[in-house]
A and B are shown apart, each in its own frame.
Chain A
Amino acid sequence: MASLAARSGLRSLAARARAPAPAPAGRRMSSSAHDDAYETAKWEKITIMGAVTCTLLAAWNLSKGHPHYDEPPAYPYLRIRNKEFPWGPNGLFEVKHDH
C-alpha cells in the first residue's frame, strides 16, 4: 500500500511533467502555432468522447435506482458518538431511511 502511495507521488510527478510539457517553453517557432492548433483540436475531441462516455454511464447508473442496505447490528465500533455533534444526533450526511 505504501508503494501505491509512492507510485501516486511518482504518477502525479509524471502527470505534471507530461501535461504541462507543451506549456511554459514559450516557443517562438511558427511551426508550434500549427502544432497547437492540431493539439487543441485533438484534445477537444478527446474531451467530447469522454463527456459522451460519462453521459452514457450516468444514464445507465441513474436508471438503476439506489440499493438498499439492511440495518447492521449495533456493534460498538459503528456510529461512534464519544460526544454528541453540536448540531444534533445525526451525522452531516446521515439520513434515516425508512424504506
Chain B
Amino acid sequence: MWKRAASLLLARRSAVAAQRAPAISGSAASGLRRAPAFFSTLDVGQARTRVEDVMPIATGLEREEIEAELQGKKRFDMDAPVGPFGTKENPAIIQSYFDKRIVGCPGDEGEDEHDVVWFWLEKGKPHECPVCTQYFKLEVIGNGGNPDGHDDEDDHHHH
C-alpha cells in the first residue's frame, strides 16, 4: 500500500491520465464490489449538492472526502503521479509535502519500460534516472522539512 502512496511515476502520455479513475481500485478488484470511482461523472449536470444531501451524518475525514468529491477535487492524493516523460527542459514534477520524497521511475511507455529504479528526490536537486535518463524535479507544496521529523536537531530541543 505504501508503494502506491510513494511515487511510482508512470511516464505515460497524458491521454492515459483520463483513465485515472478506475486505476485507483486496482485491476484486481475489477468485477467485484470495488469502491466507487473517486470522480463521479454522474454528478455533472446536477446542481452542486451539499454533503448533507449525499450523506447527512458524514463527519471527519469521510466528510472531507465527500466534500472534495462534490467539488470535483480529491482530498487524498492516493494515485501515482502520471505525466509525460520528463526531460531537462521539461522535467517531471513530483509534488511533496516535505523537502524530499522517495520516487520510483519505471521508464518510458511500452518497450522503454524498465524495472523500477528507486531514489530520493530532494528539493533543489533534480535527479536523472540512471537507466532511461528521465528527469525529475521536486515541488514542495507543504511545510517542507525532513520527512523523518526534526531528528537532525538537538535531542533536547523542545517544542
Instruction: Write the residues of chain A forming the contact surface with B, with a CB cutoff of 8 angstroms.
Output: 17, 20-21, 23-29
Q: B42 to A23, Cβ gap below 8 A?
A: no
Complex Cα gap A5–B84 (Å): 52
Contact assessment for A26 and B36 in the assembled complex, using a CB-CB cutoff below 8 Å? yes
List, sorted by A's number, 15 A–B pairs whose CB atoms are closer than 8 Å: A17-B32, A20-B33, A21-B33, A23-B33, A24-B33, A24-B35, A24-B36, A25-B33, A25-B36, A26-B36, A27-B42, A28-B42, A28-B43, A28-B54, A29-B42
Give the size category of B's interface with A.
Answer: under 10
Interface string of B44-61 (1 = CB under 8 A from A): 000000000010000000
Q: Are B33 and A28 in contact (CB under 8 A)?
A: no
Q: Which among A17, A20, A28, A29 has the highest number of chain B CB atoms within 10 Å?
A: A28
Interface centre among B33, B35, B40, B54 (most CB of A within 10 A): B33
Nearest to B34 among chain A residues (CB) is: A24
Question: Measured between alpha carbons, how far is A24 from B32 in the docked complex, in Å?
Answer: 10
Query: Whole-angstrom distance from the CB of B42 to the nearest CB of chain A?
Result: 5
Task: Please name all residues of chain A whose beta carbon is closer than 8 Å to the beta carbon of B35 when the two chains form the complex.
Answer: 24
Chain A residues with Cβ below 8 Å from B36 are: 24-26
**Interchain CA distance A25-B40 in the complex, whole Å:** 12
A17 partner residues in chain B, CB cutoff 8 A: 32
Collect the chain A residues with CB atoms within 8 Å of residue B32's CB. Answer: 17
Question: What is the minimal beta-carbon distance from B149 to any residue of chain A, in angstroms?
Answer: 37
CB distance from B80 to the nearest CB of A (A): 24
Other than A17-B32, A21-B33, A28-B42, give 11 A-B pairs with Cβ distance below 8 A. A20-B33, A23-B33, A24-B33, A24-B35, A24-B36, A25-B36, A26-B36, A28-B40, A28-B43, A28-B54, A29-B42
